[in-house]
Structure 1
């Protein structure tokens, strides 16, 4: 029985995988913001016979302190993690620049900073597994440059959440590189996974404008994968993990890391900048 931790597991891909892993007899810990969705998922897990193999932890993963608290809670519950699945993301479209109470741009905080903290802070528990795997559900293959002088896009005008998410994907690419390099003496495998267009509620209801929402739903119905189909590559990774420390996929197609991440040499730079940002709020933060 594997121990699986899913950040962002009450909706979409994360939820679908949580239920599938419960069916498979695994021990599943789901982290999510909504207590109501967490309770609904607990009831679904119980119906599948997973009452004693499911745990929901409520947290706002856009806050540094919440990520640190969750790491402590999980560490008190289990002695190893076999799979860490990073799915937490807000797809709601916005033209407004918004910050968390920590002072970080919301998408930067949830889509990148949380994944950074959880990846590194759970590394010791991952090392205790015979075949540890981290799957970062992001968007490897997104083209564009990293805004080194403005990582949170504070000065990007006009700002919109799509730009922030795409920029976050490029940051996650370098997170994967840095993590893989730091884990060279371990057997932890790190996968950057782009599921493509998926028919999740978050994606199809990202826009408030009625006409745009209708158009998006139609387009996703045509080009989007059903959630049940979109998770197939992840299930394959779990059963047959890649041999390399870092790999990238778009759906079930393996991507060339050298082409996807052309600035791999910048991973250490991003690592140090990220640590500086976190330590401004939590001075005793360290990566394991």
Structure 2
């Protein structure tokens, strides 16, 4: 039996993945902000006869303190973590700053992934075949990173913010695997393709229309789930790998520049300090 932790696990692909693992008889920890959605996952688990195999942790992962609380809860409760799926994100048409002073997307889509990955690495290394799956958009141009304004204090544009967060995930994967060179954890960056999921967020009129079309055009959740499970069930041999749908992305290329990864790591450590 594996222990699987899923952020963003109360919606779409995350929820489907949680239920898949429950059907297999695994222990699942789902982290999400919405109590009603969390209860819906618990109810679904009960229907499967797996209520004893799931825990829902309600937490706002855009807050540093909440990430640390979640890490503390998991490490105190579960001796081993086999799989960590980083899927939490939330689209915001307008800029929002958390009570801790961070731009919300930067905090949720990047800082949370940083904190959970590093916070759970020791428990992951106790597993037979540990894997971290970061659902992002690997590859692309490093020039999209606003090094002098990572949190978009000026000229906020939601699509640019989300694109930059995907790039920060790439660099996080690089710095993570370099920081733990002897770890057995496999860090996988994956964009499973446009999927007809919940697209949770706060949208203006224009972006809501775009999202509606995306829902119509997106692949079924089951198709994305197949792509995700392919990497979770058979983790790649290399410490870091990246995929756009079924196509491998070269993690030795410019988008995964080591100097940029180190630069981001230093900035992040200073911010969290």
Task: Say if 2:110 and 2:169, in contact at 8 Å, map to a contact too.
Answer: yes
1:61-72 mapped onto 2 (5 Å cutoff): 61-72=61-72
Give a deviation string over 1:166-185, Cα, whole Å, max 9, x none: 11111111000000111211
Give a deviation string over 1:192-250, Cα, whole Å, max 9, x none: 111221111216x76442x764454234423x211111111211112211000000011
Aligned twin of 1:84: 84
**CA distance 1:246–1:200, change in 2 (3 Å):** same
Aligned twin of 2:20: 20
Aligned twin of 1:202: 199
Task: Say if 1:142 and 1:166, in contact at 8 Å, map to a contact too.
Answer: no
Give a deviation string over 1:58-99, Cα, whole Å, max 9, x none: 10000000000010111111001000000000024x1x3210
Any unmatched runs of 5+ in structure 2?
A: none
Q: Distance in 1 between matches of 2:208 and 2:105?
A: 21
Corresponding residue to 2:237 among 243, 247, 251: 243
Q: Distance in 1 between matches of 2:105 and 2:68?
A: 18
Aligned twin of 1:123: 121
1:153 aligns with 2:152: yes
SS at match of 2:199: helix
Q: How many residues align?
A: 272
Q: Distance in 2 between matches of 1:242 and 1:206?
A: 36
Q: Distance in 2 between matches of 1:183 and 1:130?
A: 17
Q: Scaled by the length of structure 2, what TM-score is found?
A: 0.94
Corresponding residue to 2:133 among 132, 135, 158: 135
Name segments (4+ residues, structure 1) moved above 4 Å: none
Q: Which moved more, 1:190-199 or 1:107-116?
A: 190-199
Aligned twin of 1:285: none
Aligned twin of 2:213: 218
Any unmatched runs of 5+ in structure 1?
A: 280-288
1:192 aligns with 2:189: yes
Aligned twin of 1:263: 257
Task: Say if 1:45 and 1:51, in contact at 8 Å, map to a contact too.
Answer: yes
Aligned twin of 1:165: 162
Q: Scaled by the length of structure 1, what TM-score is found?
A: 0.90
Aligned twin of 1:283: none
